[in-house]
Structure 1
């Protein structure tokens, strides 16, 4: 016998006993045709292995969770199409789980299989039910969006399991989901949601790309201040930049009900903005308009676009949200232009060249508009990058400069979430944990949809010994920024490790390693999680891979830089590694 991580699909025929009682021969013939025409081809196409046929049930193993879910989707959609065309036929419920399995000959056993078996009856007829770990692992890599069906207690599983569901009627937008489940870290199941795609640059000048991107990002920032609206983060929206996309596909991938797209043409001192808000289910327009203005009116145009989107989505702003959207400390258009250029550089590759190009742009913006807060925050972030990467001769001085600049940013723009989040980062490097927490909370108070600040809050809770409180917040960050999964999975895996959920922790770290193959720290934590499960050989292999990537790795040096608040968590991780003889 041996063990490994696998994705498990378990399918069962709805009403099988009743069908057999009514027409045994017809039911067996229909089931045989279903397997030959739909089920088996889908399994083969998605690299699965049928482990066992159990009358009306089928157990299938996959090495990839994405393949498992794509297989389930393919089967259920094919059955839906066949039923719509001919009526009647086979209906399935399908459960998919990702977990540890035991292989004995051709058979598989273990908690991974047991939980999949418990999920299948929870699926709606014709639908699919998956665990949270599956939902987070697939991210935006399948052509479907699962809805949160809350936590359930299942037989022989000691802890509640959060499940997610999908039904083929969701593809057409006419699926009536069950009643909303309890909120998870502030997200409601029926909350209006929007993604802002990067506007197209119609200026005919590639050098104006930063301006177009900057306006798109500013609109995202303003919308993110609306607490009753779910807004996808810039990182995930901008993944579609330069691509010809179907808005309905974008809606499914990002899990939103509406998408804003548009174009910007800048010529001299004038700017033309075309914007349209589209229903992501039907593809129909909710609102569209064109703005021809002087460049000096760009701030008013951004505010107007934000308000028109909010009105189209039938969201009511609170007086505080009204004030926050109108709060813009920039008064000089040229300074704003310089900041947009520098912010675009800092959002790209983190190199010494971009650092040296961004610094003078930000300083020039401050010279033109000394009371404009965001360029100070941009400088603070740039010097944090220098501290991390050691580009200049005195990186410790860079950290002190970052603190000085971020203090000025908050002084100039006390309601800017960008400044408060960068202040939280600077405070963490200064080991000022009280300020780190205070700045994170302030950033989220101003901008509840700020995915990066949510991730920082989840990380802070994990490092302070509250990993179970961190998990829903980290999952919320990933919901807002599905393209940022590679960042969040590291902290989700660590939170599960410190919570004692070793199997889930190992699965999250494996997925993170798949997305970021050269990560060393995730392999350290994976080795600890595997050792706690008794998977000592696998733990040693993860450690060997880590040493190939980072031959000079030192656990003590790593822990001295990690912002753990207590020794307890460090000792817990070390004890796991000791079980495998690694430290």
Structure 2
């Protein structure tokens, strides 16, 4: 018997969190579901000439002969159910289906079911096949989500989500780039002084330029952002029109001889405020103030967005992950400082590299995982570790020779694993020249310069790093680096205070404990020394002074003499 097939538009809908709702109120949820079906879904199906061919629990599968009818029905259902107690997701695909009696089977149905899972609660997701047929026929805006790997579907499927009405003359909002994207809108001049307009516009231009130096960000050019100058803006609409996930806006107010600048970072799609800050300064120092604000905003925005992106990506439901997803999952483990977390970082970065061999950030995080193993004392075969790490950074530099994060990490590794401090500093300095707002680059500079005996320059760069990123989640590394500088400069009390801050910030960070043990040893605090030594040995049972010196090269043995003396006074083995 010949198999019956036909082309159809398939709509798949289900209730969000249905199992949980039934668990908390079975009778009430079932009654609401029945009302949803009879009072809303079935009338809309009839109105739009559809056919309900399957209903399973909270799921509904509906056939239409037209993509326009399917999307119109979905929009009517979601609009009518916007305040309902049973929010729904809807997915739509046009494709070939197999007819089995009243039922329909095949990829046309399967793709629609998978696409439904991409929609937000109350939202509608459609495939490219549907989009091509409805984009010029319905007064709807569409957001391009790009090609997405769907479970058990052979090829990636391009997916669009419905995003309100058309944006201007465009039926489709610009697609989001595959990395965090931001637009800096013109700041408002709230001072009433037209003379300050140049300062306000200049500040925005400087911030835009500074952010564009971060290769991890996609930054909209100033000329595009400035079309909104002097207009009341809808942040969500701006996000759609410019194709960005984040928007930075702010204002400047003059009061006497003082200026107050406010800035806030907003997630465009949800209008959620992610970060805000206020800056005050004297009018006569206007250009110094502009530079300070630019550095502070740029240095804070990038790690803030990175944290939000990690959280957002980790909430994604299952499916095939791309190189960027694996990179973010590795990054999420960065501050744990456990052997398990380091193995996780390496596992995810290897997968990212296999998916995209030219994705430099994956090599950078993989190299930092090896740095963690080195400083924590977890290296089993030091020569093998050196070879593998240096190979990683060379491949990362081949992937992107101008990425400041890759350059800085390469410099760190050339110093630590290649025992070439001069070469390491050359790469770190190049990274800072490309992006002078890179807080982590100044941290790397401070750490490596300390081993070179350049204590004052190291301190200057660490202070710069702390000013750029005053609330950094990696504060423990900054504090330990300052502690070591003070210890080597024989400011032992100050060294102890910094080291205490480091271990309080991250108790798994072994370098914080060995500087604290050395400081307490020099100060003669026996009980506190023992506690620091015990904590250090718990993290690194094979810790020895000679092992530490072998792992971390210096310009000469005299550079680390105060640290070595302190470790000996603390009773740590040679």
Q: Which structure's CA Rg is the greater one?
A: 2
**TM-score by structure 1 length?**
0.43
